[in-house]
Structure 1
Amino acid sequence: MRLVIQTKIVAITLLLLNVVHADDVNIKKSPESKPFLTIQLVDERGKPVAGAQTGMSAIIKGYDSENGVDWNFGKFELKSDSDGIIQFRDPDKYRGMIYARHAERCLVAVKRTDLLKTKELPLVLTMYPECHVTWRIKSNQLNQVGKKIGQVRGLSASEDMICQWCYETGSTLHFFLPPGRFTLVGAGENISPVEKTIVINKGQEEFDAGITDANAKKWIILEGKPAPEITDVREWKNGSPVKISQLRGKVVILEFWGWWCGPCIYYGIPELFKIRDEFSSEELAIIGIHTPYGESDEVTSIKELNAKLTQVRKNVWNGKDLGFPVALTRFRKLQYSPGGEPIANSKMSVDYGINSFPSTIVIDRKGNIVGKFSLRVKNDRDKLRQLIKEK
C-alpha cells in the first residue's frame, strides 16, 4: 500500500474509493516477531494512559450530537496496556502515523513516527483533551444544476500524512484532534476536493472551520454537453490516437484507471471485459484513460505498462489483455479549479473532474456526456445496455 502520502497530491484518490496498490490487495499475515516500535501513552501529568486505541486507520462513521460517533480502528487495532505501552510488531500493519484515542477520557495523540531519526524506546507520546472540529461543505454549482451534494468524506492530516478519516456525516465533517496544525480535506462523489489548514490551540474544546464552497465535479456540469477530447497523451496502446469526435454514432466508455489501482485491476477492467464480449465494436467503443497515481507511478511507455501488467494478466485476468485503445496520460500537478490546490494528477482528470479510480464516464452516440456509471451496479449496467440498444 502507498503508505506515505502527501495530502495535496494523492490523498483524495485514497479517500473516495479506498484505492490500494494492486500488489497489496491480499496482505499476508506476518508471524509474531520482535517489536520494531514501542510507544508509551501518557496524559499531561505524565501518568500512563491504559486502554487507548490505535490502528492502521482511525475512522469515524456517522455523527450524533447525543450518542457521539462510531469509531473504527480497523482490523489491526491495538490497545495500550496498564503502563500505557503499545508495541508494533508487524510493519505491514503500521502506516508511520500514530493516532491514539482514549474513548472514556476523550484524550488523543497524533504523531508521525516514520521520519524520526532517533527512536528511543519507548517513544513517549502525550495525550491531550480532544478538540471537536466541525467543517461544513456546500456547493453552489450543484444547487444551480439541481443536484444534491450527497455524502461528503473527509480526512485530517498532520505532517503530510493522514491521521483520521470521516465518513457518513452528511455535508458536515467531524474530526477529533489534539493541539497542533492540521490539513483538512473534503471530497465527495459529486464535488471536487477542497482543502483547509487549521491550527488548534492547547485547551481548545471546539473548532468551527466554517463553510467551504466546493465546485461540482466537471462531468456533472458537462452532462448533456460535448465530451472533451482526449489530450496530453504520451502514447497509445492498441492502435493509433483516438478522437471522441471520430466515434459519433457509437456509445463510448471512458475508463479512468491505473496499473497501481487494486479496484481497477480486480473489478473495473474485468467488468469492461464482460461488456466488450456482450456488444460489438460497431455499437460500443471502450477507451482506457491510464492515469498516474503519483510521479513515481507514472509509466512512460506501453512497454513499461505491459511489464507492470504481466502478472495481472496471468493471475487476475485469466490470460486476457486490454483489447481496446488505452491512452497513457502524463503526470501533471494541476488545479481542479482556478485558485485551488494542485491536487489533480493529469490534465484528463481535470477536464472530466476525476479524482477517484476506477471512474467510468459514458458518452452517447452524439458525443455528449451521459454521466458517470458504476458497471458493478445492476441499474447502471441496465442503463448502459438500454443506451446502446437505442439507435
Structure 2
Amino acid sequence: MLSRLKTFTAAALFAAIAATSGAASAATPTAPEFTGIEKWLNSQPLTMQQLRGKVVLVDFWTYTCINCIHTLPYVKSWHQKYKDQGLAVVGVHTPEYPFERDTDNVKTAIKRFDIQFPVAQDNRYATWNAYDNQYWPAFYLIDRKGQIVYSHFGEGDYAQTEAEIQKLIAQKG
C-alpha cells in the first residue's frame, strides 16, 4: 500500500510540474542527465543523450539496502530479457553510509550480486538530486524520447513494472 501511495504521489508531482510549467511542457518530465558521477562501473560513461532511442530503466540503489537487494533479481532479469530489445538498465549507486562510497566496496558488491549492467557511482547525490529522488530502491522508466513515464519506489509491483517495460519496448517510434 505504501509503495502505491508513493507511486501515486510521484505521478501527482509530475502532473503538477507539467501543469505549472506552461503549454510548451510535455505531460511527462524529461529525464535528467547523469551528473556528478564519480565513477562508472561495467561501462564507459553514459549520457541520456547517448541512450535516446532506447527504453531506459534507472535504478537508484545501494549495496547494503535490504530492499535494494530484494529488487536485484528482478532488475537483473529485466536486463537479460530485454537488453536485445532496446532496454538499457543503469544502476545509480547512491550511498547511504560512508563506507558505501568506497569504489572497491561497490565493485565487490557488483561482483557478489553478478550485476552486468552499467553502474554509476553517485557519491555526491548529484544524479539523485537531479531526479529529486528520496528512496532506495527507486525505478524510473524513460521512454525512447527521453521522458520519464513511470516510477516506482520500494519493493513490489514487479509485474506492473515489467508490463511497463514491455509496453515501452513495443512502442517503436
Q: 1:235 to 1:385 in 2, by over 3 A?
A: same
Alignment partner of 1:357 is 2:160: no
- Residue-by-residue CA offset, 1:124-167 (whole Å, 9 max, x unaligned): xxxxxxxxxxxxxxxxxxxxxxxxxx85xxxxxxxxxxxxxxxx
The equivalent of 2:168 in structure 1 is 387
TM-score relative to the length of structure 2? 0.78
The equivalent of 1:283 in structure 2 is 86
Q: Which has the higher helix share?
A: 2
For residues 260 and 251 of structure 1, the distance between their equivalents in structure 2, rounded to whole angstroms, comes to 27
For residues 81 and 41 of structure 2, the distance between their equivalents in structure 1, rounded to whole angstroms, comes to 22
Alignment partner of 1:306 is 2:110: no
Q: 1:269 to 1:220 in 2, by over 3 A?
A: farther
Count of aligned pairs? 159
For residues 219 and 328 of structure 1, the distance between their equivalents in structure 2, rounded to whole angstroms, comes to 29
Q: In 1, are the aligned partners of 2:38 and 2:121 still within 8 Å (CA)? A: yes
The equivalent of 1:258 in structure 2 is 62
Alignment partner of 1:236 is 2:17: no
Q: In 2, are the aligned partners of 1:251 and 1:388 still within 8 Å (CA)? A: yes
Q: In 2, are the aligned partners of 1:283 and 1:388 still within 8 Å (CA)? A: yes
Q: In 1, are the aligned partners of 2:85 and 2:169 still within 8 Å (CA)? A: no
Query: After superposition, where does 1:104-119 map in structure 2 within 5 Å?
Result: none
1:221 is displaced (CA, Å) by: 3.5
Query: After superposition, where does 1:222-233 map in structure 2 within 5 Å?
Result: 224-233=28-37
Q: In 1, are the aligned partners of 2:40 and 2:118 still within 8 Å (CA)? A: yes
1:228 is displaced (CA, Å) by: 0.6
RMSD: 2.7
Listed as ranges, the gaps of 5+ residues in structure 2 are 19-26
Could you tell me the percent identity over the aligned residues?
30
More relative contact order, 1 or 2 (CA 8 Å, 6+ apart) = 2
Alignment partner of 1:366 is 2:168: no
For residues 327 and 372 of structure 1, the distance between their equivalents in structure 2, rounded to whole angstroms, comes to 19
Residue 306 of structure 1 aligns to which amino acid in structure 2?
Answer: K
Aligned partner of 1:249 among 43, 49, 53 = 53
Q: In 2, are the aligned partners of 1:253 and 1:285 still within 8 Å (CA)? A: yes
1:298 is displaced (CA, Å) by: 3.3
Q: 1:220 to 1:250 in 2, by over 3 A?
A: farther
Aligned partner of 2:121 among 324, 328, 346 = 328
For residues 134 and 15 of structure 2, the distance between their equivalents in structure 1, rounded to whole angstroms, comes to 11
Q: In 2, are the aligned partners of 1:217 and 1:354 still within 8 Å (CA)? A: no
The equivalent of 1:73 in structure 2 is none
- Residue-by-residue CA offset, 1:146-195 (whole Å, 9 max, x unaligned): xxxx85xxxxxxxxxxxxxxxxxxxxxxxxxxxxxxxxxxxx5527xxxx
1:255 is displaced (CA, Å) by: 0.3
1:274 is displaced (CA, Å) by: 1.3
Q: Which has the higher strand share?
A: 1
- Residue-by-residue CA offset, 1:235-270 (whole Å, 9 max, x unaligned): 0001210001111111000000001211111x2211
TM-score relative to the length of structure 1? 0.37
Residue 147 of structure 2 aligns to which amino acid in structure 1?
Answer: N
The equivalent of 2:99 in structure 1 is 297
Q: 1:283 to 1:230 in 2, by over 3 A?
A: same
Q: 1:279 to 1:291 in 2, by over 3 A?
A: same
1:322 is displaced (CA, Å) by: 1.3
